[in-house]
Amino acid sequence: MHIAVFGGTGRVGGRFIEYALAEGHTVRALVRDPAKLAPRPGLDVIAGDVLNPADVERTITGADAVVSGLGGAGVNDPGDAQSQGMRNIVAAMQKLGVRRVLGVAGGGILNSVNGGLRHDQPSFPDVFKKVSAKHKEAWLAMRDSGLDWTMVATGDIVPGERTGVYRTLEEFLPDGGRKISVEDVADFLLMALRERKHLQKRVGAGY
C-alpha cells in the first residue's frame, strides 16, 4: 500500500513508518520539520502543517490509506493539530476518494461500563480532560465522515518492545489494560490496516 502518515515525527507515528516500510509499503509523511525524519527508501517527506488544508491534500493525493499519529502538544494546552487536523484529513479524503483512515487517541473517548464516555466519569483525572476533549473531536470527525475509520484508544503509552501480544476490545478499554508500548500501538495500526479490521470502531488496547 501507499500510506499517507501524519504525526510521523512522534513516537507512534515514527514507529509506524518504520514497520510499514519494513513490510514493503511506501509512505508519504507530512511534517513541520523534515530534518526530524531520517530519509529512507520508500519514504517521501513533505514539509508542511496539518492545519493547512492544501498541505494535507497534497500528502493524501494518491494514497491507499491514511494513518494519523497526531497527539496533543501538552495536557494544559493540547492545541488543535489532532482535532482540526483530523477534520482537514477527512475532508481531503472525501474529496480525493480515499476511504481508509486510522488514528490514535486516549482511552477517555471509550465507553465506560457505567454509561457514557470514560472521560465524563467523576473518576477521570481533571489533568487529562482538556486533551481528551481534543481526542473526542478527532474521533467525532472520523465517525461522522462516513469513511472506513478505526481509532485505537489507550491508557498510558510507554516505551517498550513490539510484542504483538496485547488485548483489544471494541468501544471499551480491556479490563485492567491501562498501558501499552509505543511499539505495540504502531503494531496494532499496521495490523488493523493490513487486515481491514475494526472498521468504524473505537478500539481499546492494552496489556
pLDDT value of residue 77: 76
Residue ranges of the chain with pLDDT lower than 70? Answer: 72-73
pLDDT value of residue 72: 65
CB–CB of 65/98 below 8 Å?
Answer: yes
pLDDT value of residue 71: 80
Q: Kindly state the percentage of the chain with pLDDT values over 70.
A: 99
pLDDT value of residue 113: 94
- Mean of pLDDT over the chain: 96
pTM for the predicted model, two decimal places: 0.95
For 186, other C-beta atoms within 10 Å of its C-beta total 26
CB–CB of 166/179 below 8 Å?
Answer: no
User: Residue 196 is part of a domain; what is its CATH number?
Assistant: 3.40.50.720
**32-75 pLDDT per residue, tens:** 999 999 999 999 999 999 999 999 999 999 999 999 999 866 77
For 80, other C-beta atoms within 10 Å of its C-beta total 16
Domain total of the chain:
1
Pairing relationship of beta strands 2-6 and 26-31 according to DSSP bridges: parallel
Range of the domain at 48: 2-206
Instruction: Name the nearest CA neighbour of 147 among 203, 84, 97.
Output: 97
| Local structure of 167: helix, strand or coil | strand
* AA letter at 95: K
Pairing relationship of beta strands 65-68 and 2-6 according to DSSP bridges: parallel
